[in-house]
Amino acid sequence: MATETKVTKQTGKRHGYPDYHEHLEKLDNAGLLTTIDEPFNKDTEIHPLVRWQFRGGIREADRKAFRFNNVTDSLGRSFDMPVVVGALATNAEIYSIGMGVPVEEIGNKWNEAMANPIDPLTVDDAVCQEVVVTGEDLKGEGKGMDGLPVPISTPGYDCAPYLTATNVTTRNPDTGTQNMGTYRCGLKAPDRLAIRMVSRPGGAEGHLHWKMYKERGEKMPCAIVLGCPPAVAYMGPQKLPIGVEEMAVAGGVVGEPIRQVRCKTIDIMVPAESELVIEGLIDTEYLEPEAPFAESHGHVALEVYNTPLEVTAITQRKDALFTSIISQLTPSESSVIKRVAYEPLYMSHLRDALGIKGVKRVYLHEPLTNLRRIIFIQMERGVPTTEVWRALYGASSLAAAIGKYVIAVNEDIDPESGDAVFWSLAYRVNPVLDVQILKHRLRYGPRDRRPGGENDSTMLIDATLKSDLAPIALPKREYMEHAAKRWEQLGLPPLKPESPWHGYSLGDWTEEWDQMAKRATAGNYLENGRRSAQLRRNDVFPNVSIRDVPGNPYEKK
C-alpha cells in the first residue's frame, strides 16, 4: 500500500483548546521559542545544544524551547520535518502556557480535572491522518521510521535515535479502557521499534496490558503519539489510578472533550490534533535487546530485554513537527514536567487528605538527583513535632518510587540552596532523635549489587527548629538592602543574593537587646556601656549567661 495524502475535512465545531502548532505560536509570542534555520545534525548537535541551557548556568526562567528548521543527519541526509525540543516544560512558564493557567493555579487545575473528567469526542476525519504511510513504504532505508528526523538524545552513549516525547497508548483487552504513558522507544529498523515499559510494581499500566495480551497469546495493539495538544501531552508522565483514562482527564483540563480518531490499522483511539502517530503491534512472545540509553534517573540505562513493536502505519499532519524532550540528568524538561505537576499534588495530599497543620510548601529536589529522590517539606515555626512527623511519613507513602530522603525544614531554609540545607542539618538535627529509616522502598535508578541491595530504603529527617534560637549572625535586612544600593551605585559586579542574606530572629531575642542594637547603630554605644556597668557582679564566672544569674533584669516578676 502506498503513501496516502488527503485534505482533512474538519467535522463539527472546531476544538477550543490549543494544538501543538498553536502552543508553539503562544511560546513564540511570549519570547520563549528560539528558531534556528541553519543546518543542525540530529545525531550529534541538536540535543547537546539544547542541553547547554540546563548545564550552562542559565536561570530556569531564561530557558526556552528550540525549533530546528533545517535538520540533517550524520549520513548527510536532510529532512523536511522541523524538530522541536523543549516546548512542553523547559521551565514552569512554558508548562503553565500549555496548561492554560498561571503557575500557582496548576495544582488546582490538576485536582479539578481529575475530579471532573470529560470523555473525548470521536470524529471521522483528523488532521493527524492527512498523510498515511503503510505497507512497503514503511520498509527500506530512508523510509518509515528511518525517514523521520528522530534525534539522538545523548550522543556518545545512546545506541540509536529515540522517541522521547511520547504518549504511548494501549488498551485493556478486558475492560476496553485506554492508557497513555511516556515510555522511551528506540529505533531498530524502518518498521520496528523497541519500547521500554516499566515492569516494577507501581510502574507502567502499559506493561500490565502487555501481560494480559501475553496470557491471551495475542499481539498488543499500540499507538505512539507525538506532538499532541499540550493538555494531552502532559498526561503521559502524570500518575493516574489504574483504569482512569488520560484523554478524559485532559478534557477536564481544557474544559471540553478532546477530539479523538480511530487509528488506521489498529483499534486504538488517538488525539485528532496530533502531529504524528506511529501505529503497530507489540510482540508478546519475544523480547529484544534494547538500550543503552541515558535515562531520567541521571545514569545510562544499560542493555536489557524489552518489547519490540512492528510498525503497521505512520500517520501525520502534512506540516507535522517532530517533537522531542530533554530528559536524562536533571534538571531537564522531563523533571520540570513532574516537579510542577507533583508538588501541588503532594501539598493537597498532606494538607487536605491527611489534614496536617502547618505545611507551607512541598519542594521536590531536581538538580542532578532526579526529583523522585529528595523531598523537602517546609513547615511553620511552632508546629507540634507530631505534625512534622505525620508530614514526613505522609510524603514518603504517597508514591512507591518517590522520596528516598524526606526532609522537614522551616520556612527560613531555602530547599534550592544546598548550603542552607546543610546548615539546617548541622544545627537543627540530632540524628539519634530526629532521623528514622524506613525499609522496603522500591529501587529507582542504578542497581545496588550488594547482598540485600535489591530493595531501597527511605530516610526521614526532622530538620526543623526544636526551640527558640538566637538571631542569624548577619546584619538586619534594612542594612543589607541599603548596602546593596550603595554596591550598585559603586558599579560593582551584579549581586546574586544567597539565602540567608540578612539576619533575622529565631525567637531567642529580647526587646532590650533590640534597643541596645539600635543605640549602637545610632552611635550611642556608650549608653549600653553605662547599663552594663550597673549590672556588674563578683559572684559569677566568665561565659555565664546573664539570664542564668538570680536577680537578672530578665527574670519574670
**515-533 confidence digits (pLDDT tens):** 999 999 999 999 999 999 9
109-113, 295-299, 462-466 — which is least confidently predicted? 295-299
The pTM for the full model equals 0.87
CB 183 within 8 A of CB 309: no
Alpha carbons 253 and 224: distance in angstroms, whole number: 22
Does position 13 have pLDDT exceeding 60, yes or no?
Answer: no
Beta bridge partners of 337: none
**Res 4: pLDDT:** 62
pLDDT of residue 438: 94
Is the per-residue pLDDT at 9 higher than 50?
A: no
pLDDT higher than 60, residue 7: no
Lowest mean pLDDT among 67-71, 335-339, 477-481: 335-339
Q: Is the pLDDT of residue 235 over 50?
A: yes
Q: How far apart are CA 359 and CA 131, in angstroms?
A: 52
- The answer to whether 180 touches 167, Cβ cutoff 8 Å, is yes
Q: Region 432-461: what's the mean pLDDT?
A: 86
pLDDT digits (tens, 9 = 90+) for 324-378: 999 988 999 988 988 888 898 899 899 999 999 999 999 999 998 877 789 999 9
**pLDDT-derived band at 88, boundaries 50, 70, 90:** very high
Question: CA dist 417 to 365, 482, 503, Å?
Answer: 10, 24, 17
Average pLDDT over the chain reads: 93
Instruction: State the average pLDDT over residues 108-122.
Output: 93
Task: Report the phi/psi class of residue 52: left, alpha or beta, with left for phi > 0 and alpha for psi in -120 to 50.
Answer: alpha
- Whether 1 has a pLDDT exceeding 70, the answer reads no
Residue 462, pLDDT above cutoff 90: yes
Mean pLDDT within 108-119: 93
| pLDDT of the residue at 440 | 84
| Choice between 5 and 483, residue whose per-residue pLDDT is larger | 483
Q: Which residues pair with 514 in a beta bridge?
A: none
Task: Pick 479 or 551 by higher pLDDT.
Answer: 479
DSSP 479-541: HHHHHHHHHHHTTPPPP---SS-SB--BB---HHHHHHHHHHHTT-HHHHHHHHHHT--SS--
Structural contact between residues 403 and 342, judged by C-beta atoms closer than 8 angstroms: no
Strands, sheet with 359-364, edge to edge from the N-terminal-most edge strand: 359-364, 374-379, 405-410, 456-462, 435-441
Per-residue pLDDT at 557: 62
Mention every residue, 6+ apart, whose C-beta is less than 8 A from residue 3: 131, 132, 133, 137
* Distance, CA of 62 to CA of 39 (rounded, Å): 24
Q: Is the pLDDT of residue 237 over 80?
A: no
- Is the separation of the CB atoms in 375 and 364 below 8 Å? yes
Q: Which region among 19-28, 265-274, 503-512 has the lowest average model confidence (pLDDT)? A: 503-512
pLDDT number for residue 441? 82
Model confidence at 242, pLDDT cuts 50, 70, 90, reads confident
- Quick: pLDDT tens for 16-54: 899 999 999 999 999 999 999 999 999 999 999 999 999
The x, y and z cell numbers of residue 70, run together, are: 533545517
Higher pLDDT, 378 or 243: 378
Q: Which domains does the chain have, with CATH numbers?
A: 4-324 (2.30.110.10), 354-462 (3.40.1670.10), 477-548 (no CATH)
Give percent of the chain with pLDDT exceeding 90.
Answer: 82
Q: Which helix (H) or strand (E) holds 205?
A: helix 205-216
Please check the confidence at residue 250 and state whether its pLDDT lies above 50. Answer: yes
